[in-house]
Structure 1
């Protein structure tokens, strides 16, 4: 499971480098859920109050909550945002209703004012989100039917806005989840 994702991540990074031509203050997620569909969201805005302006050709998704206002335990519908090149926020919904993902950790990545590079940021976020999975869900990700993904700051967000936080999301592959997965320690959760 982890090895297959690493292979897709390398392909997705190559595709993203070909697609991503602007340096917006944004967050970037590695592809995990639907590798080719997630490539479209590799320029995400971490906070609606950023200094960067999307290019006229960018398709902007605003969501109802900016990345800077998201909290651990928030349930979000983020799949609709995947067709956009810039995401200024996600749609937070009640966890009692069907939703795409749940935020389970917001780890700080590194204090350095110098951007460590895309690969280093992806690796730091992957390690932090992997480590936070079991304490939140109650079971190792390798034993769970759930999976995780994350959003990370871009170089512009890192250097200009001081954004050093990853946003870790847990989801049920190929289905929405109803209810929180916190502490379920199950290999599967109720999905719609």
Structure 2
């Protein structure tokens, strides 16, 4: 059986937590100018597809965005975004919110990820995960981001274990 390794999303510092809160509240330009925190990806005004490679906070990515490699760190906060017509390692296929007031146990996050990401995989890729050559990976909030900025989002990334792909994996059917 292939392993799906969940990775916690990090909030690197109190300043970063403040910046994320500002990004989520619509004050991104002011906060980015005062803290140096990464702006959201450059997107096409009509399609909203990423049109310029760059680095951003993982909470700035959307379903359909293509991403560069994820390091083997225990936690991530910054991530590379690239236009999908360029080689990339991951693609955001789904996201969902965890519920509750208290930070959930890892087993609860794993169960929710298995249920949500497996179902989303079939819808996004066009074939069930067990029948696919592709795999998925989930990224979830840390206890710090949960408590400090109300981060509840789990993101599901689809990828090809053999290496980078060019073009979207949506509807790939493989």
Match for 1:90 among 53, 62, 79?
A: 79
Cα displacement (A) at 1:159 = 2.3
1:43 deviates by: 5.0
The match for 2:120 among 99, 120, 132 is: 132
**Which secondary structure state, in structure 2, belongs to the residue aligned with residue 49 of structure 1?**
helix
Report the CA distance shift for 1:85/1:140 in structure 2 as closer, same or farther (over 3 A). closer
1:106 aligns with 95
Cα RMSD of the aligned pairs, angstroms, is: 2.5
TM-score computed with the length of structure 2 as normaliser: 0.70
1:30-87 CA-to-partner distances (Å, cap 9, x unmatched) read: 2xxxxxxxxxxx5532688315xxxxxxxxxx871112211001000123x22x3542
Instruction: Select 1:45's aligned residue among 7, 10, 13.
Output: 10
Runs of 4+ in 1 over 4 A off after TM superposition: none
How far did 1:122 drift?
A: 2.0
**Runs of 5+ unmatched residues, structure 1:** 10-28, 31-41, 52-61, 188-192
User: Please, what TM-score do these two structures have when normalized by structure 1?
Assistant: 0.64
Aligned 8 A contact 2:9 2:58 in 1: no
Give the count of matched residue pairs. 139
